[in-house]
Amino acid sequence: ATLVVPAQIGYAADNPPPTERAVTDIVPVPVEARPEPGTNFKLTAGSVIRAEHQAKDVAEYLGALLRPATGFPLPVVERFDRGKAGITLELGDAGKRVGDQGYQLTVARSGITLKANTTDGLFGGVQSLRQLFPAAINKTTVQHQDWIVSGGKVLDYPRFKQRGAMLDVARHFFKPDQVKRYIDQIAQYKVNTLHLHLTDDQGWRIEIKSWPRLAEIGGLTAVGGDPGGYYTQEQYKDIVNYAASRHITVIPEVDMPGHTNAAQASYGELNCDGKPVPPRTDIEVGYSSLCIGNPITYKFVEDVIRELAAMTPGKYIHVGGDEAHSTPPADYKTFYDKVTPMLATYDKKATGWHNIVVTNPPTSAIPQYWDTANANADVAAAAQRGNKILMSPANKAYLDMQYNKDSPLGLHWAGYVEVKDSYSWDPATFLQGVTESQLAGVEAPLWSETLRTSADIEYMAFPRLAGIAEIGWSPAATHNWDTYRVRLAKQGPIWAAQGINFYRSPQVDWK
């Protein structure tokens, strides 16, 4: 008899083609990742994405990521539609360990299974999964190549609940599409909050209907005389919804009682002498203050908080509080004693720069540590009282610090922050007397005094944002620069395919 050898489809199981990345290369590095040689999955024109009803949005998001470069239809079908090979999203029984943000991912020859207890978990798992494809998956036109996904198993969940990024849209204005672009970029690294610094001395960027001149006049200016701008409430809500579709909660900041020149230039009544101040477009800090003794100040603040709260599905509003050098300490306390309780009135909680701890805010408030010192008695005392601290030490987490003295963008008041510097710290030991369980998480702020374009944002955020995101997500025990820099290098082709203008630090051997 003749032995019929079936035609080889794909590749032999004992000789899988090499893939660009393995499950152990994912950034942020997973809690557990086990590559399984020989179990790579090949996505084909016939592949489907299976999902039950509640997982459909994540499934469609995944489909939209994979369709442009593959050119495959990748229809989203019912979870129990067993006909074709593909990617299955399962919601509900991923096990206790992964909690409400984690996931389990299995890539086998026969198909890919992603399980999570929540859609947040599925979304995070999708971010891991997309890194297992060739980098060309990120291109926006059809690429003619094989789409092999690295085989193996991942079990993953975050170290900290909150992993954030901040964008300063006040010093320079960024249009809604630019903010959305950044949202898509940060979502890849499982960042789940976007803090928008909406107001500062140089510009007011959010329409407040009860005080229209804030946006109309305060929105006109920007650092260096560059064009200003503001978000209408419709545009702002659209940004918030877009972020939500990327499982990111927006935290709006109105900086006060300092950093308020744009507001004080828009309304004379916000100044103690009743006269509007001239607009400012320089980058000095600490010269402006709301008029603490004037009742209209609190009418203004409450109107702003009320309108913002109505556009904020998240629990937190950021009430600023930094560098109030022109507000005497007693006035600073008087101010927050009146303002912090307003948040509860509108069913929100306060977050603010760590300076607010001296006002003894309720324990629901989250102070954001931005200084470079490794000790701060007032912040440690707040942590003792029960306030959870958000860590953004400027010499580690500030994405606007220059990488080195030749960096074309950025400032250096907190030092030069190379990729290794920004990765080399532990939020749980950075600040004396503030330990792991007292932290809300980490945030990477990006101030925009020197930034004008999306390319500028990207140059400062990448690669450092990926490192801060990993510090926030991955177990402390995985922290290791030598292994991180190798994984980071493999993100380079992904960013290149996405058109991200990243800084090719000489500390990393980019692929």
Report DSSP state, residue 411.
B
Binding site for ligand TNX (CB under 6 A): 285, 322-323, 353, 370, 394, 398, 400, 411, 447, 449
Min dist CB 284 to ligand TNX, Å, is 10
Round to the nearest angstrom and report the end-to-end CA distance of the chain: 52
CA distance 234 to 268: 27
CA distance 364 to 386: 8
Question: At residue 113, what are phi and psi to the nearest 5 degrees?
Answer: -125, 125
**Residues 469, 199, 252, 231, CA torsion sign:** negative
CA distance 56 to 118: 12
> Of the two residues 286 and 475, which places its CB atom closer to ligand TNX in the complex?
286
Min dist CB 278 to ligand TNX, Å, is 20
Min dist CB 495 to ligand TNX, Å, is 24
The question of whether 323 is a catalytic residue gets the answer yes
Min dist CB 411 to ligand TNX, Å, is 5
CA distance 239 to 231: 9
Question: At residue 132, what are phi and psi to the nearest 5 degrees?
Answer: -90, -10
> Of the two residues 387 and 392, which places its CB atom closer to ligand TNX in the complex?
392
Enclosing H/E stretch for 218: none
> Of the two residues 70 and 199, which places its CB atom closer to ligand TNX in the complex?
199
> Of the two residues 94 and 365, which places its CB atom closer to ligand TNX in the complex?
365
Q: Give the 3-state secondary structure of residue 355.
A: helix
In terms of C-beta distances under 8 Å and separation of at least 24 residues, what long-range contacts does 112-118 make, across chains too? 112/41, 112/86, 112/87, 112/88, 112/149, 113/87, 113/88, 114/87, 114/88, 114/89, 114/90, 115/89, 115/90, 115/91, 116/90, 116/91, 117/91, 117/92, 117/93, 118/91
Min dist CB 371 to ligand TNX, Å, is 8
CA distance 487 to 42: 23
> Of the two residues 159 and 195, which places its CB atom closer to ligand TNX in the complex?
195
**Residues 10, 85, 150, 502, CA torsion sign:** positive
Residue showing tokens 């198909």: 111
For 330, residues 6+ apart whose C-beta sits below 8 A from its C-beta are: none
44 CB-contact burial (10 Å; exposed 0-12 / middle 13-18 / buried 19+): middle
> Of the two residues 403 and 447, which places its CB atom closer to ligand TNX in the complex?
447
> Of the two residues 25 and 201, which places its CB atom closer to ligand TNX in the complex?
201
- Contact between 340 and 257 (Cβ < 8 Å): no
> Of the two residues 75 and 286, which places its CB atom closer to ligand TNX in the complex?
286
Min dist CB 416 to ligand TNX, Å, is 13
CA distance 36 to 31: 16
> Of the two residues 25 and 200, which places its CB atom closer to ligand TNX in the complex?
200
Min dist CB 398 to ligand TNX, Å, is 6
Cβ neighbours, 10 Å, residue 81:
14
Nearest to 447 by CA among 258, 196, 245: 196
Which position among 32, 52, 60, 323 bears the catalytic label?
323
Q: Give the 3-state secondary structure of residue 399.
A: coil
Tokens of 440: 């809300």
Min dist CB 285 to ligand TNX, Å, is 5
> Of the two residues 138 and 368, which places its CB atom closer to ligand TNX in the complex?
368
Min dist CB 149 to ligand TNX, Å, is 40
CA distance 107 to 43: 11
Min dist CB 58 to ligand TNX, Å, is 35
- Contact between 165 and 3 (Cβ < 8 Å): no
Residues annotated as catalytic are 323
